[in-house]
Amino acid sequence: MSLETRITQAWQRQAWWLWLFWPLTGLFALVSRLRQLSYQRGWRQQYRAPVPVLVIGNITVGGSGKTPLIMALVDYLQPRGIQVGVISRGYGGDEAAMPLLVTQRSVPSQVGDEPCLIVAQTGVAMAVCPNRQQAIETLLTAHPNIQLIIADDGLQHYALARDIEWIVVDASRGFGNRQLLPTGFLREPISRLEGATVIWHQTPDKVTDSLATHSDHGNEKQLTMQLQPSELLPLLPPDYYLPLLGGTKSAKLAVNEENNLAAIEHPDSNTPVHALSGIGYPQRFFTTLRNLGFTVIEHPYPDHHAFTWTELSGYTDYPIVMTSKDAIKFRVLAEQQLQQAVTAPQQRQDLIQLLARLWVLPVQAQLSPACYETLQRQLKAVGLPL
C-alpha cells in the first residue's frame, strides 16, 4: 500500500497521530492565506479571460465528483446553444509538452486521465496546462467561438480570475477533523464556502448530518448532485478484440484456435469482484458496488495511479471492475497487449481470458433542478442567457 493511500485512509478514520503534523498545518495555513491575499489585494496580477469562466473545485483533498459534474454541465449546455470549452491542469500528463489540446486520440500519459475521459464522453473542446492562462489561450486560438470556459479543479488557482465558482462538497465525507493539510484533508478552511455556490454531493436518497449542519454556507442552499451507476460494461467490446485474436465474434463465448474456451458473461450481483480504484476517494466506488449487490474485494490505489498491465495478474478467479477514469488507462494498455498478442498464440489465449474479466462501472451525475436554475441565473448575469 502506498504512502498516499495510507494517509488518505488515516484522514478518513481521523487517526490520532495526524495531530503530530499540526505545526505544519499552521505553516500551510499561513502560506495559503498570504498567497490568496496577494491576488485579492493586487500584489500579484490575475489573468482574466475574454470570455466568462466557471471554476469547479473543492476545498478537500481527494475526489468529490467534479469530473462527472463537469460532464453533466457540458451535456446540459451544448444542446442549448452555449459553446463551452474546458480547461484542466492535466495532472498525470506530459507537462513539458503543454499546453495541449485534448482530442479523442489523446492518451493519459500526454494530457492526464480525467481530460481523456471528459473529451471521450462529451466531445467538448478542451486544453490542458498547469498555467491556466496558457490553457485558455490555446483553447480560444483553436476554438474562437467558445462562449464559456469551465475550469476543472482551479479553485485554489487564484492567478485565474473567475466569474462563477462552484464548490463540490462530498456530504458523506464531510470535513473530517476540520483541519487543513496535513493534519486534515482540507485545502482551505470551511469559511471558504461563503460566497460560492456549494454543490452537495450526496449518496442516493441520503442526506447526511454534514449537509444539515453546513447547508447555510454560500449563496445557494442545498444544491445537490448524485452519482447514478449504469450497467457494467466490458473494458473492450468482445466483438472488437475476438476477431483480432482468432476467436469468434460471439459476445457470449470466445473460441481460440486451440479450442480453449473463455466465457464472456456479465457479472451477476451477489458474486465476488475485484474492485480497482485509482480515484481520490476510492471508498465511494467500493460502496457503490456493494450497494449494487456485489461482494467487493477492495484494491485501492493512489489518485491518478499509473497502472501497469502486470498489476492485473494478481487478481484471478473473479471479474475485475474499475472506474471509468481508470478504464481510460487500461484501454490503452489493452490495445498494447492486443498488438503484442497477434503473433503469440498462447498469449492470445491468456489475453482473451483476462479481457473477458475486465469490466467498467460508468456513473453519471444527476443534478437537482435547483442546480440548473442557479446556473441559468449565473450565466444570465455574465451575458449568456440560456
State residue 205's pLDDT score.
Answer: 55
Task: Quote the CA–CA distance of 328 and 115 in Å, as a whole number.
Answer: 10
* The three cell numbers locating residue 198: 456549494
Q: What is the pLDDT of residues 297-333, one digit of tens each?
A: 999 999 999 999 999 988 988 999 999 999 999 999 9
Q: Give the list of residues 6+ apart from residue 125 with CB closer than 8 angstroms, or none.
A: 84, 85, 86, 101, 139, 142, 143, 146
pLDDT of residue 1: 67
Q: What is the pLDDT of residue 207?
A: 44
CA distance 102 to 120: 10
pLDDT of residue 239: 87
At residue 242, the pLDDT reads 85
| Residue 115 in domain | no
DSSP at 78: G
Same-domain check for residues 196 and 308: no
Judged by DSSP in three states, 247 sits in coil
* Domain assignment of residue 136, yes or no: no
169 and 282 both lie in a single domain: no
Same structural domain, 188 and 202 = yes
Q: Please give the sequence-ordered ranges of beta strands (E in DSSP) within 267-331, or none if there are none.
A: 272-277, 295-300, 320-323
- pLDDT for res 2: 74
CA atoms 32, 38, 41, 47: torsion sign:
negative
* 8 A C-beta contact, residue 66 and residue 58: yes
How many angstroms separate the CA atoms of 187 and 60, rounded? 5
Same domain for 278 and 293, yes or no, is yes
* pLDDT attached to residue 9: 83
pLDDT along the chain (386 residues), means of 10: 80 92 96 95 96 97 92 98 97 96 97 97 98 98 98 95 97 92 96 94 62 44 90 93 69 44 71 94 93 95 93 92 97 93 78 93 96 97 92
Cα(362)–Cα(74) distance, rounded to whole angstroms? 17
- Nearest by Cα to 359 from 267, 263, 225, 292: 267
Same-domain status, 203 and 308 = no
Strand-pairing partners, residue 3, are none
Residue range(s) defining the domain that contains residue 189: 3-82+147-228+365-381
Residue 20 maps to a domain: yes
User: DSSP letter at 178?
Assistant: S
Provide φ and ψ at 321, rounded to 5°. -115, 135
22 and 152 co-located in one domain = yes
Judge whether 117 lies within some domain: no
- Same domain? 191 vs 330: no
What is the number of structural domains in the chain?
Answer: 2
